[in-house]
């Protein structure tokens, strides 16, 4: 129990630190958007400094004259109330703009991550069993290349190759403009068709890490006494691979899987931008090019909260799955 409380405290502390970092980095930026707007009103409409500030306050709910600590506290309280500020560029509330695009990203990433994890784990066990063989050597080379390739480069190459050079897949968008969104076969087909290349970019670049991680972990488990005991008892090798090796070998990968599930809510700025996919990633990408700070800040906060939350859940589950952890020791 003490252990769970400790993890929870770390989680809260992490989110607090992230909010503070982004607040001070972004709000105190010289020549920030707010400063620009104030100068804009002063120059264009001939307002005095105070009038311009009032105008900006009315529009963007940011009081530049307030002392920093007061802005800070107000921002914190606003976050707790679910008021994440307004986008500079569109004037829409940050939280609802983010939540609007969230389902697309979650859809894209949950599928690609599951595919990547399941296949990667399977291949990893296979490689561990056949270590030293031709298959292991080829698979290891592939895994290293997969690990080494940045996803944004692969995305770009896939886009170039399969959407422009051989126009098999659509170039941009999350679904065809010809179909109306709805729960129809046509729409779902269009969505899947459009998400194929971005998914491939995620799967191919992330699968290598799972393969190599699982290979190492499974080789370690294969050397354990209980596996040898199971073999000596004459259990079927399929059963040993699944229940004895597989289950125990997955444990160390659990935390990284949880972290990547958390990243599911962030998407990739690159891939979504390149494929013009309407998700969180491309929203943050646009926010970056527009210098829309509240939106950048909100996006970052959303990703961090998701990662923190999933790591917290993973830690607790890990404790349930592997009782050795709860006692403390190296992990605590």
Is residue 26 within 8 A of residue 34, CB to CB? The reply is no
By CB under 8 A, is residue 21 in contact with another protein? yes
Region from 11-19, 39-47, 52-60, 114-122 binding another protein, contact rule CB under 8 A = 11-19
Report the chain's C-alpha Rg in angstroms: 25
Among 34, 87, 126, 307, binds another protein (CB under 8 A): 307
Contact partners, residue 208, CB within 8 Å, separation at least 6: 120, 142, 143, 144, 145, 146, 147, 148
Rule CB under 8 A: say whether 26 interacts with another protein.
Answer: yes
Binding to another protein in span 124-153, by CB under 8 A:
131-132, 136-137, 140-141, 144-145, 147-150, 152-153
In contact, 249 and 218? CB cutoff 8 Å: yes
Q: x/- contact string, 246-265, with another protein (CB under 8 A)?
A: -------------x--xx--
Max CA separation in the chain (angstroms): 89
Start-end of H helices in 130-222: 134-148, 151-159, 185-222
Cβ partners under 8 Å of residue 3, min gap 6? 319, 326, 328, 332
- CA atoms of 190 and 176, how far apart (whole Å): 6
| Residue 146 Cβ vs another protein, minimum distance, rounded to whole Å | 9
Instruction: Give CA separation, 323 vs 123, 272, 293, 320, in Å.
Output: 28, 40, 44, 6
Select from 3, 32, 54, 325 the one that contacts another protein (CB under 8 A): 32
Q: For another protein, which residue of 284, 286, 294, 298 counts as binding (CB under 8 A)?
A: 284
Least distance (Å) between residue 300 CB and another protein: 5
Binding of residue 304 to another protein (CB under 8 A):
yes
> Helices marked H in 66-184 — which ranges?
68-80, 94-129, 134-148, 151-159
CA angle (262, 256, 241) in 5-degree steps = 125
13 vs 192 by CB, closer to another protein: 13
Give yes or no for residue 11 binding another protein (CB under 8 A).
Answer: yes
What is the rounded distance in angstroms from the CA atom of residue 318 to the CA atom of residue 35?
A: 48
> Interface with another protein includes 84 (CB under 8 A)?
no
Q: How far is the CB of 67 from another protein (least distance, A)?
A: 21
Residue ranges binding another protein (CB under 8 A) = 10-11, 13-14, 17-18, 21-22, 25-26, 29-32, 131-132, 136-137, 140-141, 144-145, 147-150, 152-153, 156-157, 159-160, 164-165, 212, 215-216, 219-220, 223, 259, 262-263, 266, 269-270, 274, 284-285, 288-289, 291, 296-297, 299-300, 303-304, 307-308, 311, 330, 332
């Amino acid at each position: 129990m003490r252990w769970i409380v400790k993890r929870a405290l770390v989680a809260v502390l992490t989110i607090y630190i992230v909010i503070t970092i982004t607040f001070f980095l972004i709000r105190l930026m010289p020549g920030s958007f707010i400063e620009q707007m104030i100068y804009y009103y002063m120059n264009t409409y001939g307002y005095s400094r105070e009038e311009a500030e009032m105008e900006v306050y009315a529009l963007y709910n940011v009081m530049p004259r307030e002392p920093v600590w007061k802005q800070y506290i107000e921002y914190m309280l606003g976050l707790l109330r679910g008021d994440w500020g307004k986008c500079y560029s569109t004037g829409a509330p940050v939280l609802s703009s983010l939540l609007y695009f969230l389902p697309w990203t979650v859809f894209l990433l949950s599928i690609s991550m599951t595919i990547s994890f399941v296949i990667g784990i399977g291949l990893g066990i296979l490689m561990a069993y056949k270590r030293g063989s031709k298959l292991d050597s080829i698979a290891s080379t592939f895994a290293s290349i997969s690990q080494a390739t940045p996803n944004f480069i692969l995305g770009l190459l896939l886009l170039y190759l399969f959407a422009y050079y051989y126009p098999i897949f659509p170039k941009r968008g999350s679904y065809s403009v010809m179909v109306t969104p709805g729960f129809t076969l046509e729409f779902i087909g269009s969505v899947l068709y459009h998400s194929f290349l971005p998914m491939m970019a995620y799967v191919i670049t992330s699968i290598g890490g799972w393969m190599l991680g699982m290979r190492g972990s499974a080789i370690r488990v294969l050397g354990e006494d209980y596996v040898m005991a199971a073999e000596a008892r004459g259990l079927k090798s399929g059963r040993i691979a699944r229940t004895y090796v597989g289950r125990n070998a997955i444990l160390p990968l659990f935390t990284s899987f949880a972290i990547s599930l958390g990243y599911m809510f962030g998407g990739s700025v690159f891939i979504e931008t390149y494929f013009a996919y309407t998700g969180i990633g491309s929203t943050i990408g646009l926010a970056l090019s527009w210098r829309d700070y509240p939106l950048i800040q909100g996006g970052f906060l959303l990703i961090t909260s998701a990662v923190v939350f999933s790591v917290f859940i993973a830690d607790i589950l890990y404790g349930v799955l592997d009782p050795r952890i709860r006692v403390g020791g190296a992990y605590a």
